[in-house]
Amino acid sequence: MNFLLFRIDEECFSAALTIRPEVIAFAWPRGGQALKPYIDRAHDAGAKVTFMVSDAAGARAAVEAGADVIVAQGTEGGGHVGWMGSVALTPIVVDAVAPVPVLSAGGIADGRGLAAALALGADGVLLGTRFLASEESSLHENYKKAIVRSDGHDTVLTEIPDIAADMVWPGAMSRAHRNRFIERWAGREWALRQHQSEALAAVQAARRAGDTEEAPLSFGQDAGLIRDILPAGEIVRRIVADAERLLSQGLPRLVR
């Protein structure tokens, strides 16, 4: 169960607690927002708590409030992200909150990314874009194919999707596919604000139709590593097998 703290709905959160999920994931609090009450309620419901951060200060605050696992999300990821890349952010967060477990997120789509995250001190990884291009993903098939077609260079950090949705995320930019919709409003955000309701209606219609050019499509730079649409279980098996092969056979040759 995943909750954005800056826009958390009390009725939804209370309902989620009654289900007693194994894990509740929190992310993106407002500046100065109290974290501990939400984490305590999740623990009282028997859930472990993961907390996604984009800097060391946020990681320390989450741990002080009782988070069980920290997710260090780099700017390479899709959707709403911070400004620091995973390679620097992951060990910074690991050092800041040790011995609390840390997962690395952003830019990871294969066994090489998993092995690299482990080498940086993370205990594991959290994947987003790779699972968007899975058979179980609820994305329109056209969107999945757009991820597979991506070379990893066709994304941009932008506020345009949030302006169209009339939503402000605290301290985040959105990494989205640089498609016709984004290009139309880039540099004309002021005009998009003037026509927000009409733009949102057009976006919603485009999403229903699977139009990958006229609606924001959030995915990470690691889309350039994704070449097929697979079952989620097969994705996990391949990533783990490739990482084990690299760690047990490839890298040891460098230190013999």
Per-residue pLDDT tens, the chain, 256 aa: give them: 999 999 999 999 999 999 999 999 999 999 899 999 999 999 999 999 999 999 999 999 999 999 999 999 999 999 999 999 999 999 999 999 999 999 999 999 999 999 999 999 999 999 999 999 999 999 999 999 999 999 999 999 999 999 999 998 888 999 999 999 999 999 999 999 999 999 999 999 999 999 999 999 999 999 999 999 999 999 999 999 999 999 999 898 888 7
Pairing of strands 124-126, 102-105: parallel
The CA distance from 160 to 211, in Å, is 17
Q: 199 and 120, same structural domain?
A: no
- 187 backbone φψ class: left, alpha, beta (φ>0; ψ -120 to 50): left
Rounded to the nearest 5°, which phi and psi values hold at 193? -65, -35
Residue 167 lies in a domain: yes
Q: Cα dihedral sign for 18, 137, 205, 197?
A: positive
Residue 87 lies in a domain: yes
Q: 38 and 120, same structural domain?
A: yes
Q: 19 and 54, same structural domain?
A: yes
Task: Answer yes or no: 140 catalytic.
Answer: no
Q: pTM of this prediction? A: 0.94
Q: 158 and 106, same structural domain?
A: no
Rounded to the nearest 5°, which phi and psi values hold at 126? -120, 125
Of the listed 43, 80, 140, 195, which one is catalytic?
80
